[in-house]
Amino acid sequence: MVFFESFVTKIMYLNLFNIVMNKVMKKSVKVILFYFLITQFLCFSENIEEFNKKIVALYSENKIPEALTLGDEKLISLKQREDVAGKLDASSLMVILSVIYRKEGNFKKVEELLTDAMNIREKSIGLTDNLLNKILYNLASLYKAQKRFSDSEVIYDKTLKSTEEIYGARNSDVANVARSYSEVKISLEKYEEALALLNKAKEIIIKENSENHYKTAEVLIDLGLLFEKLKKYNEAEENFLKSIAICEKVGGDKCDISIPLKRLALIYKESGEYSKSESFYKRVLAIREKGFGENDLEVADILHELGVVCSKQKKADAITYLNKSKGIYEKLFGENHANIALVLSDIEDYYDSIDNKEEAEVSRKKSEAILLKTNK
């Protein structure tokens, strides 16, 4: 469509040139007019796709200043054109430049470019335009990253409608947009709308793939997290357990099984099911240690939680886990840190539970000393 409009514009200029030149005019006027018209023809003949490729090539070669300078100069010239083709060419360049500016951290410029591109293509083509669809998604994602959730909601709504019009209501791209959109709804505390979006995504994903696909596990985790937030722990447990079963079947790195394992460990801890909680924390610990080593901050956090649930069961392993946790915190933060004081307080609780008042007192004093130093 853009090529056709550009081609028609070229023909119009050439026809105008022929008509004028056939009239009786002074030679100097003819020369000036010829120069003007041929300049316009050459301007329109440049292929925007080839130009955009130049910008991308410069960026991939890390020639960022050159890419932005060349792109911005070209954009200024394109904005001066009044024809539809010129505006559409400008919008496609805006998208390329927005990607580079986003990588450079200039989010104000990104918003400006994407908003202008959106307005041009929405007015000229409408929601069925593929490039507009990408622009909308990028702008909605930008607002979400900036925690501008109300702005993001408006754009995500357009994105979802556009995606459905282009690909159909039961397409995997619709599921992806619905999942992203649900995060915004949750941030706005519109939980029922978020739930509807996630259920829509789940239905599409199962139909497109299967009930035992890693993408099904991902949306089940999303649902579990939402139900947990709503304190609907039975529904959360159900979705987390289903996601774990799928991840175990799929295997590999496609499925992050540690998320539902950790959430279930916490749910069981809060509900007093300490034995279940312990087993899930142990699985999370093994995964985290394998991936990040034994001196990782999250490993220390998991050991701490594991120590607490063992302490609730009066298991001697509690001290082993709590001391390991304390040791990692000391390596990471030094000896006087609030996390260490908290672990010492939990060690005190364990010794109190088994009537070892002497050790409990030692831990209490150490914890208090650290808190005094850190003013916590």
Query: Does residue 79 form part of some domain?
Result: no
Query: Does residue 30 form part of some domain?
Result: no
Q: Is the pTM for the entire model greater than 0.75? A: yes
The 3-state secondary structure of the chain reads CHHHHHHHHHHHHHHHHHHHHCCCCCHHHHHHHHHHHHHHHHHHHCCHHHHHHHHHHHHHCCCHHHHHHHHHHHHHHHHCCCCHHHHHHHHHHHHHHHHHHHHCCCHHHHHHHHHHHHHHHHHHCCCCCHHHHHHHHHHHHHHHHCCCHHHHHHHHHHHHHHHHHHHCCCCHHHHHHHHHHHHHHHHCCCHHHHHHHHHHHHHHHHHHCCCCCHHHHHHHHHHHHHHHHCCCHHHHHHHHHHHHHHHHHHCCCCCCCHHHHHHHHHHHHHCCCHHHHHHHHHHHHHHHHHHHCCCCHHHHHHHHHHHHHHHHCCCCHHHHHHHHHHHHHHHHHCCCCHHHHHHHHHHHHHHHHCCCHHHHHHHHHHHHHHHHHHCC
The predicted pLDDT at position 139 comes to 98
Query: Does residue 327 form part of some domain?
Result: yes
Residues with Cβ within 8 Å of 162's Cβ and at least 6 positions away in sequence, in order, are 127, 128, 129, 132, 133, 136
Query: Does residue 173 form part of some domain?
Result: no
The predicted pLDDT at position 17 comes to 40
Range of the structural domain that residue 332 is part of: 294-375
The predicted pLDDT at position 249 comes to 93
Query: Does residue 304 form part of some domain?
Result: yes
Decide: 93 and 56 in contact? Cβ < 8 Å: no
Burial of 145 (0-12, 13-18, 19+ CB in 10 A): exposed
Query: Does residue 227 form part of some domain?
Result: no
Query: Does residue 319 form part of some domain?
Result: yes
The predicted pLDDT at position 291 comes to 93
Query: Does residue 102 form part of some domain?
Result: no
Tally of domains in the chain:
1
Per-residue tokens: 2: 């853009």
Average confidence (pLDDT) per 10 residues, the chain, 376 residues? 40 42 45 42 62 95 96 95 94 97 96 98 96 98 98 98 96 97 98 98 96 96 98 98 96 87 98 98 97 96 98 97 98 96 97 96 96 82
